[in-house]
Chains A and B, each alone.
Chain A
């Protein structure tokens, strides 16, 4: 097991380096961040001086190695726009995003796991069709459109829920206030995740239900409840773990648009504004962080597999 983990990490390192190279190359094709500074009041000499100060006059591969060297020393660089350290910016925006992602993931699992299992056990029943249709709806509705609909209904028409930010401006916030601000973004994120998860869990459970060991369990006459509860559900843990592993990268990206719509002060909002102002160091920092998260999520998923399913051999 320990050997396997080391091996996986060794494979992940070149992938990670490759990601930073692709990333940096795209970024350099984008054009200079100084274009944003240019205006009638800034002389060309000043722009040129700034360019040299930022090291933007050097070729792209040297800039890359400078950045990589800094990174290995724990320095992610400074934002070109606000001059804050990137690590500090990420640190201050990470909390709200993790909160939103975590709650949405839990809510989506609370919907998807029971719904997927119910729908597999009652295959081809009316309930099954209803669940599957709902799941298709969940994965087909664009997040931003669902957000707009919810805002239209709950904020504009009914006036029940606040539509932007994390706390009410001018108040201290508090648990209740944050929770009220979270309801709509969580519904949107959870609906889209639950949509695909339900179908995944349903088909996985359907496959389990056809296995020989379940037929044996039924033949023993231990009763429907025990067959499903003890023999089928335990094996359904494997697909559930897969689903969690698959959702983490999706969550990381999906939050960008939703945070934008609801002005949720998280990483997504920060990333969008960095993208529009071509703030390279910030974009690089976020891409790197998300790549690490995705690779780590893949690794943890594979390890969890081995824990929930002893028949899987890692080598």
Chain B
């Protein structure tokens, strides 16, 4: 028993940073389950062309057919297979979420680095601009932008990407302000290291963990926004299926009351995906927290 404890302690002392994070992450059982769920769903979405039973845009069965052995989740109003459309829709929704997150993270990191490191006028201008973007009620801004630019897959990605960055910019700026006062950064400045090196090789790696955590919540949010926009008809346009526009049909009373297979699976998929991503983000927050004692 005692030897076991000692061995454990020695393991903790000698384990690498990534191992520590992995071990802490494993404490969150829900997050581990979520990771498996997201991996499975993302895998299914990626492999959609291989595993989907039918072409998502082909009319293959009866109109609004109920789930059956042939069509597991039924068929939609014009006879397309719901399961196949669902797989392709997940692809689109994940693509929108991931791309929008990438764009907003890049914008936020660059602006945050500049504002935090250079301070002065640059900081003032960037932070006031951030305030402006944040002062719009978020959904209102997205809706106006979606109505202004022609709705479509890439426009949605760009709009969400350009709206989600202020949080990340603020976070990065705050971290940079702290890091600039640390001795290792001051040392670099004194040593005359090039600015590029200080910003991207010294400061950025030390603020990756909070950015990663924040990005997971942006991912969850942008998937929710895509769903809402597409639901209102301002997002991804049919015939391309997205999880949001598959729910669009439920605005008609017949679909809502008599054909639940047309909208409940898509809605549930959104909930499951977003919830799993949120759980993963939460566990990452704990695992990456340097103050954690586990």
Contacts and interface: CB of A to CB of B under 8 A. Distances in A.
Task: Tell me if chain B binds chain A.
Answer: yes
Interface of A: 14-16, 18-19, 22, 26-27, 29-31, 133, 136-137, 139-145, 148-149, 151-152, 156, 249-250, 252-254, 256-257, 260, 271-272, 275-276, 278, 283, 286-287, 290-291, 294-295
Contacts of A148: 247, 250, 256, 263, 267
B128 A287 contact: no
B147 A276 contact: yes
B18 interface: no
Interface string B164-192: 00000000000000000000000000000
B140 A253 contact: yes
A141 B271 contact: yes
Interface in B242-285: 247, 250, 256-257, 260, 263-264, 267, 270-271, 274-275, 278-279, 282
Given A15-B128, A152-B257, A27 B275 contact: no
B224 to A, nearest CB: 5
Shortest beta-carbon contacts, A-B, top 6: A253-B137, A253-B139, A140-B275, A145-B267, A30-B148, A140-B274
Interface of B: 30, 128-129, 131-132, 134-140, 143-145, 147-149, 220, 224, 227-228, 231-232, 247, 250, 256-257, 260, 263-264, 267, 270-271, 274-275, 278-279, 282
Contacts of B128: 14-15, 18
Given A15-B135, A22-B132, A30-B148, A136 B140 contact: no
Contacts of B263: 148
A44 B227 CA distance: 39
7 contacts: A140-B271, A142-B224, A142-B231, A142-B270, A148-B256, A252-B140, A254-B139
Contacts of B30: 133
B129 A18 contact: yes
Contacts of A272: 143, 232
B140 A271 contact: yes
A246 to B, nearest CB: 11
A144 B249 CA distance: 12
Nearest to B128: A15
A192 to B, nearest CB: 9
Contact of A26 (B148, B256, B271, B279): B148
B136 A156 contact: no
B144 A249 contact: no
Nearest to A135: B278
Contacts of A18: 128-129, 132
Q: Is the interface of A mostly helix, strand, loop or mixed?
A: helix
Contacts of B256: 148, 151-152, 156
A252 to B, nearest CB: 4
Contacts of A16: 135
Contacts of A252: 137, 140
Contacts of A294: 134-137
Contacts of B264: 149
Contacts of A151: 256
A148 B263 CA distance: 9
Contacts of B282: 136
Contacts of A287: 136, 140, 144
Contacts of B227: 142, 144-145
Contacts of A275: 143-144, 147
A149 B271 CA distance: 13
B278 A136 contact: yes
A284 to B, nearest CB: 10
Contacts of A260: 232
Nearest to B277: A140
Given A31-B148, A249-B138, 6 more contacts: A15-B131, A253-B138, A254-B139, A257-B231, A260-B232, A290-B140
A27 B148 contact: yes
Given A15-B132, A30-B148, A152 B260 contact: yes
Nearest to B228: A257
A261 to B, nearest CB: 8
A31 B137 CA distance: 23
Contacts of B275: 136-137, 140-141
Contact of A144 (B137, B220, B247, B257): B247
Given A27-B148, A137-B275, A257-B232, A291 B143 contact: no
Nearest to A149: B267
Given A15-B128, A19-B132, A290 B220 contact: no
